[in-house]
Amino acid sequence: MNKIGILNLQGAVSEHLDITKKAINKTNIDCQVNAVRYHDEVGKCDGIIISGGESTVIGKLIKERRIDKVIKENEIPVFGTCAGMVLMSKKTDHDHEIFNIIPMEVERNSFGSQKNSFEREIEILGSRFHGVFIRAPLVKRICNDDVDVLSKIDDKIIAVKYDNNMALSFHPELTEDTRLHEYYLKEVLNL
């Protein structure tokens, strides 16, 4: 049975857990999902989801617990939202731990502070989706032609896919819409 881990270090962990379970049930994929905190738990997963939160804190814990090494050594596909997108980047505008999974440069808090958070209908994967943006990052530059842009707002990149990895600047786990989690399970992980 396939295993998906929700990285339980900070952020919307329970929301990702709930929506991933719904996506699994909806698609009838033979898969289980659990919260994971340590490198040995991560190493047993077929995919890892990194939720939003404070990227500096999450990045330090990932490095301290050697989670980044396990992900890279085992080539575990990652689905990152908000802070997860920042952590997956090659470079960011802030000096903190990142682990270079997607060749892109990301700007943290690109839309402003917490008070500038917003919700907006976006176009992604050929259909409309309700985007929840909380201190959201943006992709400032793509560093490899193999990175697929999945969505933009006003010509600003908010969602990408690279190999078996996917990063979003918004929070699909804060909606009831399971489609992006289904896409990660079916298309990105090939389950």
Indicate if 82 belongs to the active site: yes
Name the active-site residue from 15, 31, 82, 107: 82
Name the active-site residue from 31, 171, 181, 182: 171
Rounded Cα distance between 103 and 90, Å, is 5
**How many CB atoms within 10 Å of residue 39?**
17
Rounded Cα distance between 50 and 8, Å, is 8
Q: Radius of gyration over alpha carbons of the chain, in Å? A: 15
Name the active-site residue from 41, 107, 173, 182: 173
DSSP code per residue over 58-110: HHHHHHHTTHHHHHHHTT--EEEETHHHHHHSSEESS-S-----SSEEEETTT
Q: Which residues are catalytic?
A: 82, 171, 173
